[in-house]
């Protein structure tokens, strides 16, 4: 079992657009990034929440890391480029004075009662710090983007 890909969680986005009308507010809500080891196996078609399996185990532990992860700051949800919706976090999350090893970051909405999962970033390898700063450098193209005019 392992993190093998980055992706968005289908149940959350279905709930935004169907009769459930999940009130996901990417800019106004507290969006967090929690770090996980390579022992967690995400399922983008069925996983629903940070507080549900498989995310109830295998979250990183260690000096300088607090369960639940870091609040993602300086968020925007815009059209960029034309015809594409982009969710961007322009302040890279980091954990200072940390001694941890992580393979991926789970992004979830901590404001919603269900702590609904939004996406997962696969680092592609294990990365570690020893009494250092662990920084997740997010892409210039945003945390995710959706081409709405293919």
Number of domains the chain contains:
1
The reply to whether 91 falls in a domain is no
Residue 1: pLDDT band with limits 50, 70, 90: low
Rounded Cα gap, residues 137 and 122, in angstroms: 12
The reply to whether 30 falls in a domain is yes
The reply to whether 82 falls in a domain is no
pLDDT tens per residue, range 3-26: 999 999 999 999 999 999 999 999
The reply to whether 41 falls in a domain is yes
Question: Structural domain of residue 112, as residue ranges?
Answer: 7-77+100-128
DSSP 28-78: TS-EEEEEE-TT----TTT--BTTSTTTTS-B--SBT--TT-EE--SEEEE
pLDDT tens per residue, range 65-112: 999 999 999 999 999 889 999 999 989 999 999 999 999 999 999 999
Q: Tokens 């507080």 identify what position? A: 51
Strands of 31-36's sheet, edge to edge? 7-8, 117-135, 94-109, 31-36, 70-71
The reply to whether 107 falls in a domain is yes
pLDDT tens per residue, range 38-49: 999 999 999 999
The reply to whether 84 falls in a domain is no
The reply to whether 48 falls in a domain is yes
The reply to whether 111 falls in a domain is yes
């Amino acid at each position: 079992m392992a993190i093998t890909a980055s992706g968005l969680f289908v149940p959350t986005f279905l709930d935004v657009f169907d009769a459930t009308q999940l009130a996901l507010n990417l800019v106004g809500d507290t969006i967090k990034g929690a770090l996980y080891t390579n022992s967690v196996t995400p399922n983008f078609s069925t996983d629903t929440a940070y507080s549900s399996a498989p995310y109830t185990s295998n979250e990183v532990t260690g000096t300088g890391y607090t369960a639940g992860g870091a609040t993602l700051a300086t968020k925007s949800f815009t059209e960029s480029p034309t015809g594409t919706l982009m969710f961007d976090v322009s302040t890279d999350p980091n954990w200072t004075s940390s001694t941890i090893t992580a393979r991926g970051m789970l992004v979830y909405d901590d404001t919603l009662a269900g702590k609904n999962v939004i996406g997962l970033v696969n680092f592609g390898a294990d990365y570690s710090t020893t009494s250092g700063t662990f920084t997740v450098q997010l892409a210039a193209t945003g945390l995710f983007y959706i081409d709405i005019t293919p």
